Amino acid sequence: MWLTKSFLDYLLYERNYSKGTIRYYEDDIRQFEAFAREEIGDSTPDVVKAELVREWIISLMDKGYASSTINKKLSSLRSFYRFLLQRGELTVDPLQKVTGPKKKKPLPVFLKESDMDRLLDETDFGDGYQGCRDHLIIEVFYTAGLRVAELIGLDDRHVDFAASQLKVTGKGNKQRLIPFGEELEVALKAYVEVRNEAIPLRSSDAFFVQENGKRLTYYVVAKLVKQNLSKVVTQKKRSPHVLRHTFATTMLNHNAELGAIKELLGHASLATTEVYTHTTFEELKKVYNQAHPRV
């Protein structure tokens, strides 16, 4: 169509776009024109309505195009129709009320329970204070779902053995209480004994400290977590937050209510916690596809 040719010439001669970039614009616009001809028998811009553009978006999604790719194609089409409006070829922009698909948030990365069991029950963390501390840190992340800053911020007074709970300060300085069971209690007490003997003089009230007695840093925690997770998994992400995701996913897999997980994680909104339902459903689909004879 001559209007499309005029737009491409405008990009080349007035906007000085490269020929490679212009080719992308042309491909996107031609693809939409072909869809319009197939659907309504006409691709003339003045007959195009918002509904047709939305149907095109749906067809692209059905074909498996990524949201980012669809939005790029939509951007090409928007530029074309803005050009036509500026040239007086159109009086109404059919894309004005059309929105592209939202980019899917990546699902949280987590470890299998069997991997965590191997790490905590069968892996050698080494003797002495550091090995005891590192093992406990992994265990606390996995059984309490803390963020790194929350773990680093724990002081001795925040570990209440009488009530079997941790007092955690989360985002926005909001505090929450996280209960712990007998197994973690034994590990916490054993760590305190080892720490007090190995580092009798500490320069901080921090529960977890470096060997020099100072409070842990984010870098130290991230490094020790990555090193120890590498002993049981090869996945690219091996961060403390992976253990937080693992905590949430494990709780959900063992029938914990979503609202309870939200409170334990310190999420402000249930919508944030709901991402874990998608994670477990994806795992469920994998099991179903592998196991069901009629799939």
DSSP string computed for 134-203: HHHHHHHHHHH---HHHHHT-BGGGEETTTTEEEEE-GGG-EEEEE--HHHHHHHHHHHHHHHHH-SS-S
Residue of 118 and 256 predicted with greater confidence: 118
Catalytic residue status for 276: yes
54, 78, 118, 147: the active-site residue: 147
Residue 236 CB contacts under 8 Å (≥ 6 apart), including other chains: none
Check whether 279 has a pLDDT greater than 90: no
Residue 280 pLDDT > 80: no
Q: pLDDT of 101-149, one tens digit each?
A: 887 767 778 899 999 999 999 999 988 999 999 999 999 999 999 999 9
Known catalytic residue: 171? yes
For the segment 69-96, the average pLDDT, to the nearest whole number, is 92
Sheet holding 159-160, edge to edge: 159-160, 165-169, 175-179
Between 230 and 279, where is the model more confident?
230
What would the CATH number be for the domain defined by 113-291? 1.10.443.10
Looking at residue 258, its pLDDT comes to 85
- In DSSP terms, which residues pair with 66 in a beta bridge? none
H or E element: which one contains 281?
A: helix 275-291
User: By CB neighbour count within 10 A (0-12 exposed, 13-18 middle, 19+ buried), where does 222 fall?
Assistant: middle
Q: Respond yes or no: is residue 17 known to be catalytic.
A: no
User: Exactly one of 171, 189, 223, 278 is catalytic; which is it?
Assistant: 171
Pair of tokens at residue 134: 């590192």
pLDDT for 41-50, tens place per residue?
988 888 899 9
Catalytic residue list contains 267: yes
- Mean pLDDT, the chain, whole residue set: 90
Partnered with residue 206 across adjacent β-strands are 155
Place of tokens 């929105």: 99
**292 three-state secondary structure:** coil
CA dihedral 14, 18, 22, 23 (to 10 degrees): 160
Given a cut of 80, is residue 291 above it in pLDDT? Answer: no
> Which residues have CB under 8 Å from 246's CB, separation 6+?
110, 111, 116, 142
Please report which confidence band the pLDDT of residue 294 belongs to, taking 50, 70 and 90 as the band edges.
low
Encoded amino acid at 179, one letter = P
Taking 50 as the threshold, does the pLDDT of residue 295 lie above it? no
Domain boundaries along the sequence of the chain: 2-86, 113-291
The one catalytic residue in 73, 133, 215, 244 is 244
pLDDT in tens, 147-183: 999 999 999 999 999 999 999 999 888 999 999 999 9
pLDDT of residue 271: 80
Q: Is 194 exposed, middle or buried (0-12, 13-18, 19+ CB in 10 A)?
A: middle
- Among 39, 34, 47, smallest CA distance to 90 is for 47
Give the angle 240-184-108 at the CA atoms, nearest 5°.
30
For residue 282, pLDDT beyond 80:
no
CATH architecture group of domain 2-86: Orthogonal Bundle (1.10)
- Per-residue pLDDT, averaged over 250-260, amounts to 86
Whether pTM exceeds 0.75: no
